[in-house]
Structure 1
Amino acid sequence: MAPAARLDDAYRYCEELVRDHDRDRWLANGLLPDDKRRHAFAIHAFSYEAARIRETIHEAMPGEIRLQWWVDAIEGEARGDVAGHPVAAALIDTIRRFSLRRSGFVNLLEARRFDLYDDAMPTLNDLEGYAGETASVLFLEVAQVLCEGADPKVADAAGHAGVAYALTGLMRALPIHARRNQVYLPADLLKAAGIEPDEVRHGRKAGELEGVLASLRSSAAGHLDSALSALAGADVRAKPAFLPLAFVGPYLRALAKAPAYGPVAEIAAWRKPLILWWFGRRL
Structure 2
Amino acid sequence: MTTDFDHAADVVRQFDKDRYLSALLAPEAHRNGLMALYAYSAEISRIRELVSEPLPGEVRLQWWRDLLEGTEHGAVASNPVANALLQTIDRYELPKESLVAMAEARVYDLYNDQMPSLNDLEGYAGETVSGVIQLACLVLNDGKEAGTATAAGHAGVAYALTGLMRALPWHASRQQMYLPKDVCDRHNLDVQSVFRGETTAELRAVLAEMRGHVRHHIGRVRQTSKDVPAACQAAYLPLVLVEPFLKKLEREDLDPLKQVAEMSQLRRQWMLWRASGNVLKAI
TM-score, normalized by length of structure 2? Answer: 0.93
Residue 171 of structure 2 corresponds to 177
Whole-Å Cα distance in 2 between the matches of residues 205 and 261 of structure 1? 6
- Is the CA contact 1:168–1:217 (under 8 Å) kept in the aligned structure 2? yes
Name which of structure 1's ranges 166-175 and 69-78 shifts more when overlaid on structure 2. Answer: 69-78
C-alpha deviation, 1:190, in angstroms: 1.0
Is 1:72 aligned to 2:88, yes or no?
no
Specify the alignment match of 2:271 in structure 1.
275
Which of the numbers 29, 37, 47 marks the counterpart of 2:23?
29
Q: CA RMSD in A?
A: 1.4
Q: Which of 209, 222, 225 matches 1:215?
A: 209
Note the alpha carbon deviations across 1:204-233, whole angstroms, 9 max, x for none: 243210011011111111111211321223
Return the alpha-carbon distance in structure 2 between the equivalents of residues 203 and 192 of structure 1.
20
Aligned counterpart for 1:198 among listed residues 184, 192, 199: 192
Q: CA contact under 8 A between 1:195 and 1:205: conserved in structure 2?
A: no
Change in 2 beyond 3 A, CA 1:191/1:76 = same
- Residue 52 of structure 1 pairs with residue 49 of structure 2: no
* Contact 2:189 2:202 survives alignment (8 Å): yes
Gaps of 5+ in 1: none
- 2:241 matched residue in structure 1: 247
Tell me the equivalent position of 1:151: 146
Match for residue 105 of structure 1 among 96, 99, 116: 99
Distance in 2, matches of 1:181 and 1:231, equals 38
Output the CA distance in 1 between the equivalents of 2:77 and 2:209: 44
How far does the alpha carbon of each residue in 1:95-116 deviate from its partner, in whole angstroms, 9 at most, with x for none? 1110001000100111101011
1: CA distance between counterparts of 2:177 and 2:184? Answer: 10
Report SS of the residue matched to 1:264. coil
Contact preservation (8 Å) 1:254, 1:265:
yes
CA contact (8 A) 2:105 2:128 kept: yes
- Name the CA distance, whole Å, in 2 between partners of 1:229 and 1:88: 36
Q: Which stretch has the larger CA shift, 161-170 or 17-26?
A: 17-26
Query: How far off its partner does 1:259 sit?
Result: 1.4
Partner of residue 183, structure 2: 189
Q: Is the 8 A contact 1:190 1:212 kept in 2?
A: yes
> What is the aligned partner in structure 1 of residue 7 from structure 2?
13
Moved over 4 A (4+): none
Conserved 8 A contact 2:125-2:161: yes
Pairwise CA distance, 1:83: 2.6
Contact 1:206 1:260 in 2 (8 A): no
Which residue pairs with 1:120 in the alignment?
A: 114
Distance in 1 (CA, whole Å) between partners of 2:192 and 2:234 is 40
Contact between 2:23 and 2:35, CA under 8 Å: does it hold in 1? yes
User: Equivalent residue of 1:232, what SS?
Assistant: helix
Cα distance between partner residues in 2 of 1:202 and 1:71: 36
* Residue equivalent to 2:260: 264
- Judge conservation of contact 1:14–1:87 (CA < 8 Å) in 2: yes
**TM-score normalised to the size of structure 1?**
0.93
Answer with 25-34 or 195-204: which moved more. 195-204
Matched position secondary structure for 1:270? helix
Question: How many matched pairs?
Answer: 276
Q: Spell out, residue by residue over 1:104-156, the C-alpha distance to the aligned partner (whole angstroms, 9 max, x if none).
A: 0100111101011110000010000000000001100010001121133x111
Residues 120 and 185 in structure 1, CA contact (< 8 A), matched pair in contact too: yes
Contact 1:98 1:145 in 2 (8 A): yes
Amino acid at match of 2:270: L
Deviation at 1:82, TM superposition (A): 1.0
